Amino acid sequence: MNTLIYTACLGLFGLLAEIFNFRKYLIPILVLGLAIIFSLNLQTWNHPQTHFNGMLSDSNFSTAFSGLALFIMLVILILSTDFYSSTDDEKHISDYMAILMFTLCGALMMFSYANMAMLFLGIETLSISLYVMAGSRRFEVKSNEAGFKYFLMGSFASAFLLFGIALIFGVTGTFSIDGIGAYMRMHADSLDPRFIVGMLLMVFAMLFKVSAAPFHFWSPDVYEGAPTLITALMSTLVKIAAFAAFYKLVSVCFVFAMGKAELILTFSCAATLLIGNLVALVQDNFKRLLAYSGISHAGYMMLAILSLQGSTDSALFLYSVGYAVASLAAFAIAITVFKATDTESISGFNGLGKKNPFLAACLTMAMLSLAGIPPFAGFFGKYFIFSEAFRNGYEQMVFLAIISSIIGVFYYMKVIVAMYSKPANEFEIKPTFSYQMVIVVCLILSLVLGLYPGVFTKLL
């Protein structure tokens, strides 16, 4: 809970920085603040507590995911120094930073909610901040379009979530997730149809938020149109926050009622895996490619939610960490390349292997980790999720997931091929020091996690 309060304070500080005109020192101060909050967050480890009359609860689950979210935001802040370096952006830097902090607040609420009100507020805080950030390039129609599409889809999904919450409140008479869980356990055999409809509506809304098929169509457009740094944020922090909230919701409130939704979830998981990987094959735009790759990763993570009977939270966490570090490294490189070549298509990476072997090697490692090739973290994340799903009797789904991850290797290879075997273009690509640092740190983390996955497998 303290993590949440301090992060909100940092957000307010960002707003004040605008008034008192110390924008120059804002990002270093926020980075320092987030680093302190990160270490404070570790103190809640093994100290489960509830706060505010059971509105929020700290648990190892929320601490682990909050740590990951803080790390992601730290990386995004470091990347933002060079990303927002134009004069127009510098004027608005404190607004951007404040909104990013509030995004983080929303994510933190989604990890530690113990009441439907907090779930709703968390999702909305996260989403509303991101609608603004996605549309923050005011004079580009693409960015406007991305922001507005995200807004329409997001608020549409929130309405479903709310209708579900209202129906469940009508049946159980409480918003507390433990209360709903207790009701679900007591009436597991004869659940009220309104409870089941409410559960299905909430599941649909969460599928929207994690961009699982058939509700995935907004995400490639939004990812493409939004500023690249915000795309990086959406494909890591937002996806992970939505999955953690989804996992907590299902595991606490609906685990015995899931039989009714299992068919829908299985279908959606299979469709997500296939659509994500197959459509990614034909993409030329790197951001769209990563968007579809994000959709396919949502499919793998949904396997963890499907196979809830075994506790799959550590597998989900390991997968999230592996996915986040690899994506952040890939986006950091992409931002550098986009800026130098002024194009977002994969052809911008042509001949990177000759021009800047360091960047090319790093991008190769990130792509291999996303594709799930050992010894990177991506491989072990997939491995643990698949083995949990296999143990819980989803053999066909695991088979499908393995097939689709083999398809996935092809489009990740497309980028690698472009870097090493296409003729080089004339642009000079040179990452700044902070970008190099971020890329190296992320990839080292990915490698360490891949070599010693045991640290995380029994963590939660």
Partner 1 sequence: MENSIQSIPQNWYLILSSFMFCIGIMGVLFRRNAIIILMCIELMLNAVNLLLVSFSSYAGNAEGQVFVFFIMVVAAAEVAVGLALLVSIYRNIASTDINILSKMKW
Query: Taking the complex as a whole, how short is the minimal distance between the CB of residue 422 and partner 1, in angstroms?
Result: 23
Nearer to partner 1, 138 or 430 (CB): 138
Query: Taking the complex as a whole, how short is the minimal distance between the CB of residue 237 and partner 1, in angstroms?
Result: 19
Query: Taking the complex as a whole, how short is the minimal distance between the CB of residue 197 and partner 1, in angstroms?
Result: 9
Nearer to partner 1, 345 or 436 (CB): 345
Structure tokens at 56: 């929020």
Query: Taking the complex as a whole, how short is the minimal distance between the CB of residue 148 and partner 1, in angstroms?
Result: 5
Nearer to partner 1, 124 or 178 (CB): 124
* Beta bridge partner(s), residue 210: none
Nearer to partner 1, 41 or 129 (CB): 129
Query: Taking the complex as a whole, how short is the minimal distance between the CB of residue 176 and partner 1, in angstroms?
Result: 9
Distance CA 109, CA 121 (A): 8
Distance CA 44, CA 48 (A): 7
Nearer to partner 1, 273 or 279 (CB): 279
Can you give the chain as a three-state secondary structure string? CHHHHHHHHHHHHHHHHHHHCCHHHHHHHHHHHHHHHHHHHHCCCCCCEEECCCCEEECHHHHHHHHHHHHHHHHHHHHHHHHCCCHHHHHCHHHHHHHHHHHHHHHHHHHHECEHHHHHHHHHHHHHHHHHHHCCCCCCHHHHHHHHHHHHHHHHHHHHHHHHHHHHHHHHCCCEHHHHHHHHHHCCCCCCHHHHHHHHHHHHHHHHHCCCCCCCCHHHHHHHHCCHHHHHHHHHHHHHHHHHHHHHHHHHHCCCCHHHCHHHHHHHHHHHHHHHHHHHCCCCEHHHHHHHHHHHHHHHHHHHHHCCCCCCHHHHHHHHHHHHHHHHHHHHHHHHHHHHHCCCEHHHHCCHHHHCHHHHHHHHHHHHHHHCCCCCHHHHHHHHHHHHHHHCCCHHHHHHHHHHHHHHHHHHHHHHHHHHHCCCCCCCCCCCHHHHHHHHHHHHHHHHHHHCCHHHHCCC
Q: Give the contacts of 258 (CB within 8 A, at least 6 positions apart).
A: 250, 265, 308
Nearer to partner 1, 138 or 185 (CB): 138
Query: Taking the complex as a whole, how short is the minimal distance between the CB of residue 138 and partner 1, in angstroms?
Result: 5
Query: Taking the complex as a whole, how short is the minimal distance between the CB of residue 29 and partner 1, in angstroms?
Result: 27
Query: Taking the complex as a whole, how short is the minimal distance between the CB of residue 322 and partner 1, in angstroms?
Result: 28
Query: Taking the complex as a whole, how short is the minimal distance between the CB of residue 136 and partner 1, in angstroms?
Result: 10
Nearer to partner 1, 36 or 186 (CB): 186
Length of the chain: 460
Query: Taking the complex as a whole, how short is the minimal distance between the CB of residue 344 and partner 1, in angstroms?
Result: 11
Q: Which residues bind partner 1 (CB under 8 A)?
A: 116-117, 120-121, 124, 128, 131-132, 135, 138-139, 141-142, 144-149, 151-152, 155-156, 158-159, 162-163, 165-167, 169-170, 173-175, 194, 220-221, 224-225, 279, 282-283
Q: Give the contacts of 19 (CB within 8 A, at least 6 positions apart).
A: none
Nearer to partner 1, 82 or 145 (CB): 145
Q: Taking each helix axis from N to C terminus, what angle separates 357-371 and 395-421, rounded to the nearest 10 degrees?
A: 170
Nearer to partner 1, 40 or 186 (CB): 186
- CA nearest to 81, candidates 338, 438, 341, 443: 438
Query: Taking the complex as a whole, how short is the minimal distance between the CB of residue 327 and partner 1, in angstroms?
Result: 20
Nearer to partner 1, 81 or 144 (CB): 144
Query: Taking the complex as a whole, how short is the minimal distance between the CB of residue 156 and partner 1, in angstroms?
Result: 6
Nearer to partner 1, 147 or 353 (CB): 147
User: Measuring CA to CA, how many Å separate 338 from each of 106, 405, 428, 437?
Assistant: 29, 27, 11, 18
Nearer to partner 1, 89 or 145 (CB): 145
